[in-house]
Amino acid sequence: MNDIMLFGAGHHGKKKQVAPGVEKVTFSSSIELHESRTRLSCSSYSATFIVKTVYQERGGYLIGVCGDDPSDEDIVKAIFKYNPKPIG
C-alpha cells in the first residue's frame, strides 16, 4: 500500500492508503457541520479523487485531487504535517 494525501472535498492533505497503480480513488468527504435554529447536524459524501504523482525528484509523493489542484505550498505543508512515505 502507498500513502496518498487528499486535496479537495474538504480535505487539505489528509493521509490515506491506496493500492499501487490506481488512477482514481473514492473516499468520504470531510464532515460538514450544518446548523439551524433547532438542531446541529453533519454530513459527508463519497468523493472521487484523481491520483497524481508530485515531487518525483524527492522520491515522489501521491496526491489525490478532487476539484482544483492544490498549490505547491499546500502540498509542502501537508508533507510536513502528515509525513507520508515517498513512493520511490
| Cell 446548523 belongs to residue | 35
How many Å is the Cα radius of gyration of the chain? 14
Alpha carbon of 23 to those of 31, 41, 49, 64, 78: distances in Å? Answer: 24, 33, 9, 9, 21
**Cα 20 to Cα 1: distance, rounded to the nearest angstrom:** 6
**For 32-85, how does the pLDDT look when each residue is reduced to its tens digit (9 = 90+)?**
666 777 776 666 789 999 999 999 988 999 999 999 999 999 999 999 999 999
Q: Which one has a higher pLDDT value, 38 or 1? A: 1
Q: Is the pLDDT of residue 8 over 80?
A: yes
